[in-house]
């Protein structure tokens, strides 16, 4: 018989640094389970159905060549709207379809955070662990003060290795998985802290790369093998993996990345990409696989319920202040949810006191992605594109508004 951990046990696993921000983590998920059967959550707005406003927006953007990719919207596990537009490979005239595999960009961070949470559950990691407990080679002011919690919430003071001088020139010479992982870690070791850990906010791809290294150290497996065995396989994500650029070139199922030049031409950027991605970005998946991931996660198939809540619920507030009562708001300001950083994503509390979870990603090199989870209403939205960053945002914004109305 399996015994569920007590709240005190969960707090102990989290470590002292995280204990102050996780109390009450599980109730949001429990509340979702209770409210998902009410009449409000069962209603499907016409504008989310085929032919509705969301469907028309996607078709319009695709007709203007402003969207290439796939959309899947499900309610209580059943497809409501599924669309694919554009080309996975323009040179070979391969269209995008429901089984097309797209780069996830920063949506990969959720996969990394799930892996960390699983190892916390197994008592291999604590959220309060200092970096130096798992990864060597950092000076004491980083190794002893940056914690797993800081890395997950972008509060470590470490920045983005992509922006470090010489990174891209060196990275494009790497031809093995080992070279990518070790070489990237070496660049991160050269970093200095922008602020004392926990004292600021700096989006950190470096931090999530280190989380991948922590997963490997704590599990005894490579980060990639861990993902395959403990996340992709249990969730039924048969088309998902960390594909190398060689696999990307040779597999027609994987959409090529396209960037729009000033001339308006769409250019294939695959040669600009590193051999393989790591913890902050580089996983590939289909819309259906990502929907399976969410169902497995919210169904507590990847984590026990307490740890699912601990992963998803908000830790630190984000965004600027709301307008004061009686003052004019910017367009859309009145609809803005209250947002919090979670572990690997964003938790938003709507005006109806319902939780939304998710995250988005993108790159100028040809990826734009958004994952939305609405457990209070039973919805999941996945939008994946092989065009540049921000491509999917108008679609994701409308889907979010219509689901929450």
Prediction pTM value: 0.88
- Residue 273 counted as domain residue: yes
- Residue 11 counted as domain residue: no
How many residues are there in the chain? 405
Taking the C-alpha atoms of residue 320 and residue 316, their distance in angstroms, rounded to an integer, is 13
Please list the pLDDT of the chain residue by residue as tens digits (405 residues): 334 444 334 434 444 333 333 333 344 444 444 334 333 446 899 999 999 999 999 999 999 999 999 999 999 999 999 999 999 999 999 999 999 999 999 999 999 999 999 999 999 999 999 999 999 999 999 999 999 999 999 999 999 999 999 999 999 999 999 999 999 999 999 999 999 999 999 999 999 999 999 999 999 999 999 999 999 999 999 999 999 999 999 999 999 999 999 999 999 999 999 999 999 999 999 999 999 999 999 999 999 999 999 999 999 998 645 445 444 434 343 444 589 999 999 999 998 999 999 999 999 999 999 999 999 999 999 999 999 999 999 999 999 999 999
CA 135 vs. chain centroid, Å, equals 23
- Residue 297 counted as domain residue: yes
- Residue 189 counted as domain residue: yes
- In degrees and rounded to multiples of 5, residue 168 shows phi and psi of -65, -40
- Count of beta carbons in the 10 Å neighbourhood of residue 397: 14
- Residue 375 counted as domain residue: yes
- Residue 8 counted as domain residue: no
- Residue 9 counted as domain residue: no
- Residue 42 counted as domain residue: yes
β strands within 155-301, DSSP E: 258-260, 266-268, 284-285
Structural domain boundaries enclosing 125: 23-320+335-404
The structural domain count of the chain equals 1
Taking the C-alpha atoms of residue 355 and residue 29, their distance in angstroms, rounded to an integer, is 9
Instruction: For residue 66, give the CATH number of its domain.
Output: 3.40.710.10
């Amino acid at each position: 018989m399996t015994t569920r951990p007590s709240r005190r046990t969960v707090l102990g696993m989290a470590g002292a640094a995280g204990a102050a921000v996780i109390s009450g983590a599980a109730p949001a998920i429990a509340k979702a389970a209770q409210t998902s059967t009410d009449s409000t959550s069962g209603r499907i707005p016409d504008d989310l159905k085929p032919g509705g406003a969301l469907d028309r927006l996607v078709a319009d953007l695709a007709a203007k060549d402003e969207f290439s990719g796939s959309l899947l919207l499900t309610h209580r596990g059943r497809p409501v709207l599924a669309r694919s537009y554009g080309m996975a490979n323009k040179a070979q005239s391969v269209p995008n379809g429901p089984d097309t595999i797209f780069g996830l960009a920063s949506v990969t961070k959720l996969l990394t955070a799930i892996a960390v949470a699983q190892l916390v559950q197994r008592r291999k990691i604590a959220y309060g662990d200092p970096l130096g407990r798992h990864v060597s080679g950092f000076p004491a002011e980083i190794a002893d003060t940056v914690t797993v919690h800081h890395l997950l919430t972008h509060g470590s003071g470490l920045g983005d290795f992509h922006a470090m001088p010489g990174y891209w020139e060196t990275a494009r010479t790497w031809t093995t998985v080992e070279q990518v992982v070790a070489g990237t870690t070496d660049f991160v070791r050269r970093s200095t802290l922008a602020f004392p850990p926990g004292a600021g906010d700096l989006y950190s791809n470096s931090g999530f790369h280190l989380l991948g290294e922590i997963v490997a150290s704590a599990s005894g497996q490579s980060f990639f093998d861990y993902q395959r065995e403990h996340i992709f396989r249990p969730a039924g994500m048969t088309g998902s993996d960390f594909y190398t650029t060689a696999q990307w070139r040779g597999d027609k199922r994987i959409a090529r990345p396209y960037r729009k030049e000033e001339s308006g031409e769409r250019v294939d950027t695959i040669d600009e990409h590193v051999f393989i991605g790591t913890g902050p970005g580089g996983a590939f998946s289909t819309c259906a696989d990502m929907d399976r991931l969410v169902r497995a996660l919210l169904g507590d198939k990847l984590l026990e319920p307490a740890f699912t809540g601990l992963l998803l619920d908000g830790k630190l507030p984000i965004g600027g202040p709301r307008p004061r009562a009686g003052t004019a708001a910017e367009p859309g300001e009145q609809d803005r949810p209250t947002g919090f950083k979670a572990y690997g994503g964003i938790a938003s509390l709507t005006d109806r006191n319902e939780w939304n979870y998710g995250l988005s990603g993108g790159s100028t090199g040809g990826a734009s992605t958004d994952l939305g989870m609405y457990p209070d209403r039973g919805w999941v939205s996945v939008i994946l594109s092989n065009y540049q960053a921000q491509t999917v945002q108008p679609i994701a914004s409308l889907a979010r508004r219509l689901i929450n109305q």
